[in-house]
Structure 1
Amino acid sequence: MSAPRGQFSSNFGFLMAAAGSAVGLGNIWGFPTNVAANGGAAFVVVYLILAFILAYPVLMAELAIGRHARRNMVQALRGISTGPVSRGAGTLAGFGGIVVASLILSFYAIVAGWMLAHLADPFVTLVGAERSAEWLTANSAARNFTFTAIFSGLTMAIIAAGVEKGIERWSTLLMPSLIILLLLLIAYVLSQPGAIAGLEAYLMPDFSELSPELMLSAMGQAFFSLSLGVGTMLIYGSYLSKQESLPRLGALVTLIDVGIAFTAGLLIVPAMYVAQEAGTQIFSDGGQLMAGPDLILQVLPALFDTMGTSGLFVAIAFFALMTIASLTSSISMLEVPVAFCIENLGLKRRPATLLVGLVIFCISSVIIFNFGALFGLVVSVSTEYGQPILGIALCIFAGWIWRRDQLLKELQEGHPDIEKTLFWKIWPWYVRLVCPLLILAAFIQSVL
């Protein structure tokens, strides 16, 4: 007998949890560096459009399937299937989502561990422990293992507390903290020399930069920034009350995610130009923008070093921001396999969390001690291949397999007159035809 399911106690709790799942390191560093590497403000405009014409419809598919089934991804997709073939495909896609979410979390926890280590560094520096500070900022297997373990433990502790007392409570604490830190850092960075040049690059579009490659890159960013394709939003949807309007909540989640990604750009892009003004190299010898870990762990700490003592406090605020963003995303990823273990294997939440968390930590450990061979491979398999394929599968289930009368009935919960709205006239065929083709185009572009 499965354990009783939790439920979000309020709209605000769901919005903070769903936005927290969407807002992660991909928003805080991925979006701004994609902006800088892909035409600046022109990329921003295309991204904002695509977030609503691609990401929002797929998000709605996940939320609707999840709330209808009130089960984990495997059982949810099997539940809306209409025959043995579609049930088999649902089982395969559901397990695929669990595997991909677990793989993403296995490397994500390592990167989040880097953020934790860099968060500890200013505190250690303030007390004069220079050797410890060097260890914290040097990329070693021992450092990575230690802080991945700490971050994994934090994630497991939140999930073990349940939906309302764990996911919802911590999301409602962490997300407002993230927004406050982000705004404070923006105010500080924009007061520094060089920031205005970065702001112009970010906000003044040059549409001559538009290209098919830019549009496909923006499409991929819009899709992946909302944590779509691995069942996190499906699981969160399964904890929603039937009284809530799914189209309205989905639109709010998309707005919050896009808003925070855009706001993060107001911090990162000007900070890059401030760093350049201070003498820090932000472009490689080949003229390419330093992105990802090179930007977060080399360019910005070098900028903080030029600020003297105040730079320590700015570094604390920045890496606290990065850690919070990591944690709000990691809890949603861990919930995907944990929900399966609770509902299909009959485990209680705490043992299920411990079991799944330790298995994923073991995968992280294998990656840490074989970093050069495995890290990039796991990232590529899970995000470049796994997520788009699963995203297409979810669109097929929502658009082609799920009976239309059942879909309409589910959407009418909390929105009785939805059949008369523009949403119902467009969304069903849009998620059936347009979304799979757009995701497929982005997938092919990323592979080629």
Structure 2
Amino acid sequence: MSRANWGSKLGFILAAAGSAVGLGAIWKFPYIAGKNGGGAFLIAYLVCVFTLGVGMLLAEMLIGRAARKSATTAYRELKNKAWAWAGRLSVLCVFIILSYYSVVGGWTIAYILRSISGEAITADTAALKSAFGTFIADPLDAILYCAAFFGITMAIVLGGVQAGIERMSKILMPALFFLMLVLIARALTLPGAMEGVAYFLTPDWSKVDATMLLDAMGLAIFSLSIGGGMIIAYGSYLSPDTKLVGATVWVSVLATLACLLAGLMVLPAVFAFDVDPAAGPGLTFITMPAIFAKMPFGQLFAVAFFCLLLFAALTSSVSILEPIVAFLMDEFGWERKPAAIAITLGAFVLSIPAALSFGVLEKTLIFGKTPFDLMDYIASNVLMPAGGLLAAIFVGWAIWPRVRQELQAEGAAAVLPALRIVCGFIAPLVLGYIWIHGL
């Protein structure tokens, strides 16, 4: 079976950035930054992204392109069959992520419809908060909208690398950034908005502690899609003449820019409407409709925003589904269509308890967490750091001669010392600590 390829370097960069520029940026970053005091967290996050993050992103791209296979097969073919377990771990990780991530993806579909009807357009944040809580607690709505999101994700992956993933990314990513800029411009004109900007950008060093640093590192890993095999799978579709270092920098910059824009879009509005900045993922579904209610043509902007929020969620969910599909194709010779359908159905079944975690199963706690929170914790705090740790050791030690050869061939030998330090020493120590702490 011939290997698919990206149609262009731009297509790969936008698709890989789309893996990061999803709900991890727009939904998760503002409320985690708010919870950790704003500016101090932002600095910690940027340091994590442009040291460990960039190095690990390059490492995973190298694994994928060197083997031209998805994670499990790549680890085996580049080293030996024992390393294949690192790839299987990443497959388990993204399967869990896809299951609970699609729940929130379903919320975006619902809010498109609510914006069209005008139901979600009001400046009354108390009413918006109540309506959001009622919606996510409804078991039928939660499951149906989640199923719809799964269906769209599967349809895109069925289209293949160029016709499905790349074509979608080239259109939706620029549109998302443009609309974010428009919404930021409007949010900054709200009374009290500058207080939110100051909160976001001014460091409060009293907030710096081990928990905050772990949150920053965890979000850097999550937002760059490190440790889940997504970047390895995307890297496997790269042509040998693609300059990996440049692509890595571009992906990191776009992912970070999306997080910064999301913070500037949401947090000023949080302060303008006197909402708790650590209110959780509902910030996006409570504060943004309140902004639209104050805007000329607000309903039109609301529909567009939630459509593009859906698109951002899809660019990530597609990158989450693709490595599992590639796993079945590379390891067992499956065709793309049955692989995508089988994985989607399996993940949907696992998503049901996650979807019910805000209503029927709200008080059903496992290790003190709802099913949704437990899945998020296992994937984000345990499996992704473990996957990143193994990828770092693999690149920094197990296949270092091959890594040196790959980067020398593209004229990037100058980055080898820094990459060896990151993958050989810093990443194993940091990710090992995060992994142990997560356990």
With over 3 angstroms needed to count, the CA separation of the structure-2 counterparts of 1:193 and 1:369, relative to structure 1, is closer
Instruction: In structure 1, list runs of 5 or more residues that go unmatched.
Output: 284-288
- Contact kept in structure 2, 1:73 and 1:340, CA below 8 Å: yes
Q: Which residue of 2 aligns with 1:286?
A: none
After TM superposition, the score normalised by the length of structure 2 is 0.90
- Contact kept in structure 1, 2:196 and 2:270, CA below 8 Å: yes
Counterparts of 1:247 and 1:49 in 2: how far apart (Å)? Answer: 18
Tell me which amino acid in the other structure corresponds to 2:398. Answer: I
- Contact kept in structure 1, 2:184 and 2:265, CA below 8 Å: yes
With over 3 angstroms needed to count, the CA separation of the structure-2 counterparts of 1:438 and 1:317, relative to structure 1, is same
Is 1:290 the counterpart of 2:289? The answer is no
- Contact kept in structure 2, 1:39 and 1:214, CA below 8 Å: no
The number of residues matched between the two structures is 420
After TM superposition, the score normalised by the length of structure 1 is 0.88
Q: Which residue of 1 aligns with 2:425?
A: 433
Alignment match of 1:376 (pick from 370, 373, 378): 373
- Contact kept in structure 2, 1:304 and 1:314, CA below 8 Å: no
- Contact kept in structure 1, 2:192 and 2:268, CA below 8 Å: yes
Counterparts of 2:180 and 2:404 in 1: how far apart (Å)? Answer: 39
- Contact kept in structure 2, 1:67 and 1:237, CA below 8 Å: yes
246-255 vs 216-225, greater mean Cα deviation? 216-225
Q: Deviations over 1:281-301 (max 9, x none)?
A: 426xxxxx21223x2334444
With over 3 angstroms needed to count, the CA separation of the structure-2 counterparts of 1:362 and 1:201, relative to structure 1, is same
- Contact kept in structure 1, 2:269 and 2:291, CA below 8 Å: no
How do 1:298-309 and structure 2 match up within 5 A? 298-301=286-289, 303-304=290-291, 307=294
Counterparts of 2:348 and 2:136 in 1: how far apart (Å)? Answer: 21
Counterparts of 2:394 and 2:254 in 1: how far apart (Å)? Answer: 26
Is 1:330 the counterpart of 2:330? The answer is no
Counterparts of 2:339 and 2:132 in 1: how far apart (Å)? Answer: 37
Counterparts of 2:325 and 2:173 in 1: how far apart (Å)? Answer: 22
Q: Deviations over 1:181-221 (max 9, x none)?
A: 11111111111111111112122334454334333322222
With over 3 angstroms needed to count, the CA separation of the structure-2 counterparts of 1:29 and 1:369, relative to structure 1, is closer
The CA RMSD measured in Å over matched residues stands at: 2.3
Tell me which amino acid in the other structure corresponds to 1:359. Answer: G
Alignment match of 1:412 (pick from 408, 412, 419): 408
Counterparts of 2:426 and 2:295 in 1: how far apart (Å)? Answer: 52
215-224 vs 250-259, greater mean Cα deviation? 215-224
305-314 vs 187-196, greater mean Cα deviation? 305-314
With over 3 angstroms needed to count, the CA separation of the structure-2 counterparts of 1:138 and 1:203, relative to structure 1, is closer
Counterparts of 1:309 and 1:253 in 2: how far apart (Å)? Answer: 34
SS in 1 for 2:227: coil
Tell me which amino acid in the other structure corresponds to 2:168. Answer: W
Counterparts of 1:218 and 1:136 in 2: how far apart (Å)? Answer: 31
SS in 1 for 2:377: helix
With over 3 angstroms needed to count, the CA separation of the structure-2 counterparts of 1:369 and 1:221, relative to structure 1, is closer
Q: Deviations over 1:308-365 (max 9, x none)?
A: 8854334323322321211010000000110011222222212221122122122223
How do 1:89-108 and structure 2 match up within 5 A? 90-108=83-101
With over 3 angstroms needed to count, the CA separation of the structure-2 counterparts of 1:219 and 1:367, relative to structure 1, is closer
Q: Deviations over 1:209-257 (max 9, x none)?
A: 4334333322222122101101000001101111011111111111111
Counterparts of 1:102 and 1:220 in 2: how far apart (Å)? Answer: 18
How do 1:180-329 and structure 2 match up within 5 A? 180-276=178-274, 281-282=275-276, 289-293=278-282, 295-301=283-289, 303-304=290-291, 307=294, 310-329=297-316
Tell me which amino acid in the other structure corresponds to 1:197. Answer: E
Q: Which residue of 1 aligns with 2:152?
A: 154
39-48 vs 96-105, greater mean Cα deviation? 39-48
Counterparts of 1:201 and 1:213 in 2: how far apart (Å)? Answer: 19
- Contact kept in structure 1, 2:25 and 2:223, CA below 8 Å: yes
SS in 2 for 1:241: coil
Counterparts of 2:184 and 2:211 in 1: how far apart (Å)? Answer: 30
Tell me which amino acid in the other structure corresponds to 1:181. Answer: L
Alignment match of 1:348 (pick from 318, 322, 335): 335
Deviation above 4 Å: which 4+ runs of structure 1? 133-136, 308-311, 444-447
- Contact kept in structure 1, 2:187 and 2:291, CA below 8 Å: no
How do 1:20-169 and structure 2 match up within 5 A? 20-81=18-79, 83=80, 87-88=81-82, 90-125=83-118, 137=135, 139-169=137-167
Q: Which residue of 2 aligns with 1:6?
A: 4
Instruction: In structure 2, list runs of 5 or more residues that go unmatched.
Output: 122-130, 365-370
Shift of 1:61: 1.0
Q: What percentage of residue pairs aligned between the two structures are identical? A: 34
Q: Which residue of 1 aligns with 2:126?
A: none
Counterparts of 1:379 and 1:135 in 2: how far apart (Å)? Answer: 19
With over 3 angstroms needed to count, the CA separation of the structure-2 counterparts of 1:308 and 1:427, relative to structure 1, is closer
With over 3 angstroms needed to count, the CA separation of the structure-2 counterparts of 1:431 and 1:253, relative to structure 1, is same
Tell me which amino acid in the other structure corresponds to 1:66. Answer: G
Q: Which residue of 2 aligns with 1:396?
A: 393
Counterparts of 1:298 and 1:189 in 2: how far apart (Å)? Answer: 14
